[in-house]
């Protein structure tokens, strides 16, 4: 690990990088988060930074737009998740076919200085055919409000509906003074938890756990695949303010409307 950190420190923004890594997400998806099957993966891309403080993740731009030496935007394609809502509406096949026929757009990043001028559309439109798979999919949160994927030639297939019980919990937090738009910020959540006290937040999560068992695992990392309400609450009650703020961040993600979009090569 120390050798990897040393190599990362030696990188310069814009370097062409080859990263050999192991992806355990396949096994975790199929086993409910318990077991990971390490699959060797090689990625090439332009080094644009590191994400995370404790656990470092190298960010690579696999296709990018530049103005002179300045990086304006980047798009990242990855292997598809074994299970994604909406896919069954447009594609059928086994896991082996999925890995060879499907690519997933996992990130589209545009520099704030170059937003609102159509660069997101350009990145998607000009790279779809370069994915080297007959199908491309993406799961987007902002697609309902900024449909640049559709403008790029992708087809909107399905839109998720947030769980009503999650929305009710968000409403209760709003009544306590939380701004729902800001719940994705851990620092914001932590400040408000200090202001109103942890007990009131725990009460909201307790009611949510009682009414919706499927959310327990999604709100917090727990050893059991199907944790009980008692197991959920035992861990919640031990959390400090910052960890509780992280749970509220996850709750805000569950309240987002997600859109599944799909592209077939012959559409171009």
Return the closest-CA partner of residue 264 out of 117, 122, 153, 149: 153
Q: Sheet with 135-140: list strands edge to edge.
A: 63-67, 70-78, 102-110, 135-140, 259-264, 155-159
The token pair that represents 218 in the structure block: 């999604």
pLDDT tens sequence across 124-158? 998 898 888 999 999 998 777 778 899 999 999 99
pLDDT band at 31; cut points 50, 70, 90: very low
Higher pLDDT, 122 or 54: 122
Q: What domains can be seen in the chain, in order of their start residue?
A: 2-160+257-267 (3.40.630.30), 164-254 (no CATH)
Give the CA-trace dihedral at 155, 118, 128, 161, to 10 degrees: -30
Q: In the predicted model, what is the mean pLDDT of residues 196-201? A: 96
Q: In the predicted model, what is the mean pLDDT of residues 199-225? A: 91
Q: In the predicted model, what is the mean pLDDT of residues 243-256? A: 94
- Regarding beta strands 70-78 and 259-264, do their DSSP bridges make them parallel or antiparallel, or are they unpaired? unpaired
Look up tokens 């040393």; give the residue. Answer: 6
pLDDT-wise least confident of 122-126, 165-169, 236-240: 122-126
Instruction: Supply the Cα-derived Rg of the chain in whole angstroms.
Output: 20
pLDDT tens sequence across 39-86? 555 555 555 555 555 544 555 555 556 566 667 788 888 888 888 889
Mean pLDDT, rounded, of the chain: 81
pLDDT at 206 over 50: yes
pLDDT-wise least confident of 15-19, 54-58, 90-94, 225-229: 54-58
Q: How far apart are CA 170 and CA 163, in angstroms?
A: 11
- HEC string of the chain equals CHHHHHHHHCCCCCCEEEEEEEECHHHHHHCCCCCCCCEEEEEEEEEEEEECCCCCEEEEECEEEEECCEEEEEEEEECCCCCCCCHHHCCCCCHHHHHHHEEEEEEEEECHHHCCCCHHHHHHHHHHHHHCCCEEEEEECHHHCCCHHHHCCCEEEEECCCCHHHHHHHHHHHHCCCCHHHCCCHHHHHHHHHHHCHHHHHHHHHHHHHHCHHHHHHHCCCCCCCCCHHHHHHHHCCCCHHHHHHHHHHHHHHCCCCEEEEEEHHHC
- Quote the Cα angle for 117-64-80, to 5°: 105
Q: In the predicted model, what is the mean pLDDT of residues 180-188? A: 93
- The predicted pLDDT at position 60 comes to 54
Q: In the predicted model, what is the mean pLDDT of residues 104-132? A: 85
- The predicted pLDDT at position 28 comes to 45
pLDDT tens sequence across 79-108? 888 888 899 999 999 998 998 999 999 888
The token pair that represents 7 in the structure block: 């190599």
pLDDT band at 29; cut points 50, 70, 90: very low
pLDDT at 184 over 60: yes
Q: How far apart are CA 37 and CA 42, in angstroms?
A: 16
- The predicted pLDDT at position 130 comes to 83
Look up tokens 């935007």; give the residue. Answer: 73
């Amino acid at each position: 690990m120390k050798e990897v950190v040393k190599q990362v420190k030696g990188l310069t923004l814009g370097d062409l990088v080859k990263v050999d890594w192991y992806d355990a997400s396949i096994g975790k998806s199929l086993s409910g988060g318990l077991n990971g099957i390490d699959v060797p993966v090689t990625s090439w891309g332009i080094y644009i930074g590191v994400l995370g403080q404790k656990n470092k993740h190298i960010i690579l731009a696999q296709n990018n737009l530049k103005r002179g030496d300045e990086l304006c935007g980047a798009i990242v394609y990855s292997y598809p998740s074994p299970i994604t809502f909406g896919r069954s509406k447009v594609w059928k096949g086994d896991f082996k076919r999925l890995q060879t026929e499907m690519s997933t757009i996992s990130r589209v990043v545009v520099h704030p200085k170059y937003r609102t001028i159509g660069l997101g559309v350009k990145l998607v439109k000009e790279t779809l055919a370069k994915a080297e798979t007959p199908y491309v999919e993406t799961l987007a949160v902002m697609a309902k409000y900024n449909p640049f994927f559709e403008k790029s030639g992708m087809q909107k297939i399905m839109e998720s509906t947030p769980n009503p019980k999650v929305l009710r919990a968000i409403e209760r937090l709003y009544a306590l003074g939380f701004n729902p738009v800001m719940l994705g910020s851990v620092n914001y959540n932590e400040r408000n938890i200090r202001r109103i006290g942890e007990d009131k937040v725990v009460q909201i999560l307790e009611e949510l756990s009682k009414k919706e068992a499927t959310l327990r695992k999604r709100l917090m990392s727990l050893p059991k695949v199907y944790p009980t309400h008692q197991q959920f609450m035992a861990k919640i009650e031990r959390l400090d303010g910052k960890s509780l703020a992280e749970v509220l961040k996850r709750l805000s993600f569950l309240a987002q409307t997600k859109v599944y979009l799909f592209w077939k090569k012959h559409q171009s």
